[in-house]
Structure 1
Amino acid sequence: MKGIILAAGKGTRLYPITKSICKPLLPVYDKPLIYYSISTLMLAGIRDILIIIPDGQQIAFRELLGDGSKFGINIEYAIQDVPRGIADAFIVGERFIKNDQVCLMLGDNIFYHPNLEGILKKAMRFVKNASKATIFGIKVEDPYSFGVVEFDENGRVISIEEKPDYPKSQYAVPGLYFYGNDVIDIAKELKPSARGELEITDVNIEYLNRGKLNVIPLDEEVIWLDAGTVTTLHEAACRVYEMQQIGVYVSYPEKVAIDKGYITWDKFIHEIEEMHNTEYGKHLKDMMDSIKLI
């Protein structure tokens, strides 16, 4: 399965902060926002990742991430000249996806759960074994701002609406989606919405109409942070800080890489030594010490 991170938005809701830097490169506590997305895809076992970025940010992304080899993965880049909606990622990434299945993650979303890897693997099994699209539903207080999924009394999905005035449930669809290869053709057939974008909700509705949409409701232990505004970006940093103060470390690609055997122990130590005088490096050192104790 291939992975795509959509990191091409202009981040206008964060102006003037994002006038000169792309939103996924902004810090969320001790690491860039894009690290959270990369770590999530790596947890799912995805090692080939395409990052879709805006024109003019190529050097910044490459200086930070390179080709991904420091994490034991392969990172490629593609330019989205004009923001055309989330579903446009499959058109931009068609050559990268080729004949594979694909997981799309938004570059401003953060997920945490003690068994996040298990949740991701479950989603992937539905796609691989049943040829279904798999998305998630998570309860939120303000579903008006998201795609909203409605379930019947038996837990089956019966509708999905994008930013409804009158939500039929409190289950929002977060920015993490698993699809079969047919998503490319579905995206190509979409008509732009009233706001001129190819909507990911329309992709999900098409899978629903085909009887191929699986929605996994996430329990209350799953932490989902959407760092798309100044307020939520700040809240996300505070939440990650609070968790890490009690030893719950969130989204370190190097840690995922060493756990999965993507990099050697020597390479892991080298990364720690390179950043030994930073908070990030100290946290990696704490994780290294905890591994040695096991």
Structure 2
Amino acid sequence: MKGIILAGGNGTRLHPLTKVISKHLLPVYDKPMIYYPIQTLEDIGVNEILIISTERDLPLYQKLLENEEWGIKFYYKVQKEPKGIAEALILGEEFIGKDPFILMLGDNLVISDSFNKHVKQAFSNNDGATIFGIETNNPSAFGIAEIDGDNKVISIDEKPANPKSNIAVIGIYIYNNNAVNYAKQLKPSKRGELEITDINKMYLEQQTLKLFKIEDARWFDTGTIENLYEAASYIKSLDK
């Protein structure tokens, strides 16, 4: 099984902490942030991971991971500029090949006893794309999925001013290898990025998009000081 972790970007919301180091190397309680998505992928059976980051930070990931006892083979790829999550699919084309894969954002932490089991089942049953949603109090800050009574996706909007629901699409995506060709068809959004929401819309148009709604987990987007602190405090409380 293959996985990609996107650990690039400038981390501007965490300045000055991230002026000289990637946010995904910052500690979340007693581990670097990137350890959490790596552990999730290892737990569901992924044994090959491509880490995508900046030219500045990639050697640090190599040094961090080279002597750790993961049951995983790591690959590395430079993202020269933060051009959007969907660019990871283009950068990972050679790594992906013809295989299905799971893409994770390095700053998304999901803490749950059962979540990894759900992800593994979703990977096994995926025939297009599977995304994961969780209710949020701040829907205008995320990609938002509108669903019907059977959890079938009706629409997806990126950071909507007038959200149609409060179900945030979190940074874990399961795709077949059609995702690479879809990414190549994208044009940059108004933000100048290749939006992962547009990839999901393509699967939605083909009626091959599934959503798994998470009910029993804590989710942290650790891209802000407040959320980074909250995640560390929560993990510390579990540890104690």
Name the TM-score, length of structure 2 as normaliser. Answer: 0.97
State the shift of 1:58 in Å.
2.7
Q: Which runs of 4+ in 1 moved over 4 A?
A: none
2:6 is aligned with what amino acid? Answer: L
Q: Percent identity among equivalent residues?
A: 47
Question: Matches of 2:117 and 2:20 in 1, distance apart?
Answer: 38
Q: Secondary structure at the match of 1:204?
A: helix
Shift in Å at residue 162 of structure 1? Answer: 0.4
Q: Provide the residue aligned with 1:124 in structure 2.
A: 123
Structure 2, gaps ≥5 residues long = none
Verify the 8 A CA contact 1:14 1:230 in the aligned structure 2: yes
> Quick check: which one's strand share is greater?
2
- In the alignment, structure 1 segments of 5+ residues that lack a partner are 246-294
Distance 1:240 1:190, change over 3 A: same
1:37-186 counterparts in 2 under 5 A?
37-66=37-66, 70-127=69-126, 131-186=127-182
How far did 1:126 drift? 2.4
Letter in 2 for 1:92: L
Task: Report the equivalent of 1:31.
Answer: 31
Counterpart Cα distance in 2 of 1:140 and 1:58: 32
8 Å CA contact retained: 1:67, 1:74: no
Which of 217, 222, 234 is 1:227 aligned to?
222
* Alpha-carbon distance in structure 1 between the residues aligned to 2:145 and 2:137: 14
Q: How far apart, in 1, do the equivalents of 2:153 and 2:59 lie?
A: 43
- Structure richer in helix, relative to its length: 1
Q: Return the letter of the residue paired with 2:76.
A: Y
Corresponding position of 2:8: 8
Deviations 1:44-95 (A, max 9, x none): 1101000001011132111111176x21210111000011100000101111
Q: Deviations over 1:184-211 (max 9, x none)?
A: 0000001110111000000001100000
For 1:218 and 1:76, locate their aligned partners in 2 and report how far apart those are by CA, in whole Å: 30
Any conservation in 1 of the 2:151–2:213 contact (CA below 8 Å)? no
SS of match in other structure, 2:34: helix
Contact 2:151 2:211 (8 Å CA) reproduced: no
Matched residue pairs, number?
240
C-alpha separation in 1, matches of 2:99 and 2:58: 25
AA aligned opposite 2:34: I
For 1:194, the equivalent position in structure 2 comes to 190
Q: In the TM superposition, what whole-angstrom CA distance separates every residue of 1:19-60 from its partner, at most 9, and x where no partner exists?
A: 111010000000000000100111111010000010111321
* SS of aligned partner of 1:37: helix
Cα deviation code 1:87-126 (max 9, x no counterpart): 0001011111111111000000111211222111121022
State how far apart, in whole Å, the 1-side matches of 2:203 and 2:12 are: 31
- How far off is 1:155 after superposition? 2.8
**Aligned residue number for residue 21 of structure 1:** 21
Between 55-64 and 175-184, the greater mean CA deviation after superposition: 55-64
Alignment correspondent of 2:231: 236
Equivalent position amino acid for 2:223 in 1: G
CA distance, structure 2, for counterparts of residue 99 and residue 132 of structure 1? 13
Cα deviation 1:217-268 (Å, max 9, x = unaligned): 111x2111110011111111111111111xxxxxxxxxxxxxxxxxxxxxxx
TM-score (norm 1): 0.80
Return the index of the structure with the highest Cα Rg. Answer: 1
Q: Structure 2: which amino acid aligns with 1:13?
A: R
Alignment root-mean-square deviation, CA: 1.1
Who is 1:288 aligned against?
none
Three-state SS of the structure 2 residue aligned to 1:19 is coil
User: Would the alpha carbon gap of residues 237 and 88 (structure 1) be closer, same or farther in structure 2, given more than 3 Å must change?
Assistant: same
